[in-house]
Amino acid sequence: MSASYDAAAVAALADQPVSWQDKALPPAFWGRTVADVLAGKPRLSDLPTPLLTLSAPGLQHNVETLARWCTEHGVQLAPHGKTTMAPALWAKQLDAGAWGITLANVFQLGVARAYGVSRVMIANSVVSPLQLRWIADELAADPAFEVMVWADSVRTVEILQAARSAYVDADARPLDVLVEVGGAGGRTGARDVETGLAIGAAIADASTLRLAGVAGYEGAIAHGADEAGLEHVRSYLRDLAAVHRGLHYEADVVPVVSAGGSAYFEQVAQVLAPLANDGARVVLRSGAYIAHDDGYYREVSPLGSTPRTNGDGLIPAMHGWVRITSQPEAGLAIFDAGKRDLPYDEGLPEPQLLRPRYSRQRPRPLEGMTVTKLNDQHGFLRFSPDGEPPVVIGDELRVGLSHPCTAFDKWGLIPVIDDPDADDPVVVDLVRTFF
């Protein structure tokens, strides 16, 4: 059963005014509500650069594609909401059947609670007593609210138990805890099956906790999609399954077995989906898929440029728009976007289109150009120093981006356009983020 959310609270985002804090919008729109701005059907040419936009058809395609893929492969989806931190986009994912929303910390959980998300997995250990008390209060106040946290050591379990036992009554709802399984060279998580089983036993013995399953993140185990890397991922997932099989759950618990970022979810389904036949709930947590990209995930996603599974391919649904501001030397142009505006940790922006310079022109594909560096607020575009330069000061370019997780956090309000390939796309939505 899909998690629910507060549809009225999400709809009320349209009543919020925009202001000077929203760098995606020009001063002419400040003081107007989101709904009022959209009623005027603004176009891309009405917005300043630098800019990040989302593609409405791309978002819809990606949400529907992964929802369908999960159904066909016998797994459920709790998309990682930290990618977008946008309740309006979480709502699209939940409307498409997502079992819940995954988040990374208690601040993000607070956003989810403000918008009524009823089922959340925190893909992390929570060891702050103050935060654990707040979670206890939320569980007590709302019987329909479900939250799961992770633990990768017996010490973590002891902290959870101590904080809760000092604060909650004996009849309080227990906190659901998943054993986190890691791997050598990875991030957090128990490094071997024996440690994982010991953590599970400690959770089961704690009076204020409930053993609810196992989880982990295979994306920290391997980079790339060569066969050796994929086998490394599968080996890790087999260890995760072994921990699950060795745990002893209460009779009324449907154990959650969760893995799966946006790079190897087909491997997760291959190894873990059969556990559903024994009563487990196998849950993917892919997050970047909703926007996909023109960089890292284009190359490594199972539904990317080199697919490793059946199903429709994902579509890049985020783009940057930049303007040439300087041509200080032959073969170099500087544009008005930098690290404060565009992601760069998994690859630099990719020049794609030159926007029309004059009316009745069409966007023109760009070739022979490379973004070589980003400063805080400047980008370096290199091309052949010979002949007529392909761009001039004032030109507006569309660039492809890599890594959605470090794109959304740079923008508090993101325009959604109807067609990123159009001469002058129409803005059909404005998505508010909370970072």
Closest CA to 183 of 122, 233, 111: 233
CB-based contacts of 332: which residues, under 8 Å, 6+ apart? 380, 381, 382, 383
Give the DSSP per-residue string, 41-78: --BGGGS-SSEEEEEHHHHHHHHHHHHHHHHHTT-EE-
Cis before 316 (ω within 30)? no
Q: What is the pLDDT along the chain (435 residues), one digit of tens a residue?
A: 899 999 999 999 999 999 999 999 999 999 999 999 999 999 999 999 999 999 999 999 999 999 999 999 999 999 999 999 999 999 999 999 999 999 999 999 999 999 999 999 999 999 999 999 999 999 999 999 999 999 999 999 999 999 999 999 989 999 999 999 999 888 999 999 999 999 999 999 999 999 999 999 999 888 778 999 999 999 999 999 999 999 999 999 999 999 989 999 999 999 999 999 999 999 999 999 999 999 999 999 999 999 999 999 999 999 999 999 999 999 999 999 999 999 999 999 999 999 999 888 899 999 999 999 999 999 999 999 999 999 999 999 999 999 999 999 999 999 999 999 999 999 999 999 999
User: Rounded CA gap, 14 and 291, in Å?
Assistant: 21
> Cα-atom radius of gyration of the chain, to the nearest Å?
23
Burial environment of residue 146 by CB neighbours within 10 A (0 to 12, 13 to 18, 19 or more): middle
Burial category of 281 from C-beta neighbours within 10 Å (exposed 0-12, middle 13-18, buried 19 and up):
middle
Say how many C-beta atoms besides its own lie within 10 A of residue 196's C-beta. 26
Q: Where are the domains of the chain?
A: 7-55+314-432, 56-290
CATH class of 7-55+314-432: mainly beta
- Answer yes or no: are the C-beta atoms of 259 and 284 closer than 8 Å: yes
**Which residue's entry shows tokens 């086998």?**
231
Spacing of C-alpha 205 from chain mean position: 34
- The CATH code that applies to domain 56-290 is 3.20.20.10
Shortest CA distance to 123 belongs to which of 99, 139, 147? 147
